[in-house]
Copies of this chain bind each other. A is one copy, B any other.
């Protein structure tokens, strides 16, 4: 089998396994309050590239983490990610109608249900991550705290707040980078580190290497998002294309231009690879995920 074939097989296997974990972690569709449960399931199940779960499993492979533990970690991180999309899409935020090729939750249901389903998903993420299992309790507690900090005002919510304030502003490249390191970077970093911690306590130098990798792919992810937003169509993206320019939001493309943005993404991909050097062959999947993030078309 080719390397690409093996990677594709691995991603499909992880995606299917995570889908099952999400299915188990979500409240049953038939139970009351039915509308809330259905809304949670509508937005979480059956869609998305599952980049964060793939990072969780790839990082877990470095430290021999148990697949069941990784599935719970991946489900928790993905539920935080999905709730943030649901709330970001609401009329008072980005007001978007299309996500993962489907109507957004407040369009398919209503705003109150979208607000509540997002809130419930965040709570459920912490319920799943704090479920007793095989991880040493003190380490698992540190993992809960790491996810909470990545999701909160010093992480994802903080980045989203800076993003809101930046509409119509001219940001420097540093300010743009800082915003994305919080808005999307914090949760991607959490996915990598939590995956690793599901396997073992990390020595400081290995934690630092994983953080360098995570920062590089986090930025690359956003640079590529901006390139795709400027060049792809909505059908390919599964979400509204060109909306950053329409909203007068600063992007890598608007600050650097298209070709330099592509070059930056490639440079970040190389940085990510270099950071993984100490892990040798065990980091194969993390390297391939860096490639996937930079080379994706949607």
A84→B116 CA distance, assembly (Å): 10
| Chain B proximity mask over A192-236: 1 for CB below 8 Å, otherwise 0 | 000000000000000000000000000000000000000000000
In the complex, are the beta carbons of B127 and A149 less than 8 A apart?
yes
Bound CA–CA A87/B138 (angstroms): 33
Q: Which residues of B contact A293 (CB under 8 A)?
A: none
Q: Determine the chain B residues whose CB is within 8 A of the CB of A140 once the complex forms.
A: 137, 141
Contacts of A131 in B (CB 8 A): 145
Chain B hits for A162, CB < 8 A: 32-33
Interface of A is mostly: helix
A134 within 8 A of B: no
Cβ-neighbour of A130 out of B110, B132, B145 (below 8 A): B145
Could you say which residues of chain B place their CB within 8 Å of the CB of A142? 130, 132
Interface residues on A, range: 35 or more
Cα(A40)–Cα(B113), bound, Å: 23
Stretch at the interface among A63-71, A118-126, A256-264, A275-283: A118-126
Return the contact of A122 from the options B123, B138, B158 (Cβ within 8 A).
B123
Give the shortest distance, in Å, between A28 (CB) and chain B (any CB).
10
Cα of A144 to Cα of B130 in the assembled complex, Å? 6
B90 touches A27 (CB 8 A): no
Interfacial chain B residues near A123, Cβ < 8 Å:
122, 148-149, 151-153, 155-157
Contact of A127 among B115, B119, B132, B145 (CB under 8 A): B145
Q: Give the docked Cα–Cα distance between A131 and B144 (Å).
A: 9
Contacts of A120 in B (CB 8 A): 152-153, 157-158, 161
Q: Of B87, B154, B158, which is within 8 A of A115 by CB?
A: B87
B138 A110 Cβ-Cβ under 8 A: no
Q: How far does the alpha carbon of A160 sit from the alpha carbon of B32 in the complex, in Å?
A: 12
Chain B neighbourhood of A152, CB < 8 A: 120, 123-124, 127
Most chain B beta carbons < 10 A, residue from A142, A155, A158: A158
Q: Which 3 A-B pairs have the closest CB atoms?
A: A123-B152, A92-B111, A127-B148
Q: List 21 A-B contacts (CB under 8 A).
A: A27-B153, A27-B154, A32-B162, A35-B165, A36-B153, A36-B161, A87-B119, A92-B112, A93-B112, A93-B115, A93-B116, A113-B164, A116-B160, A120-B158, A120-B161, A123-B156, A126-B144, A126-B145, A127-B145, A141-B144, A144-B144
13 additional A-B residue pairs with CB within 8 Å, beyond A27-B153, A119-B122, A120-B152: A27-B158, A36-B157, A40-B153, A92-B110, A92-B112, A92-B115, A116-B161, A120-B161, A123-B151, A130-B148, A132-B138, A132-B142, A137-B138
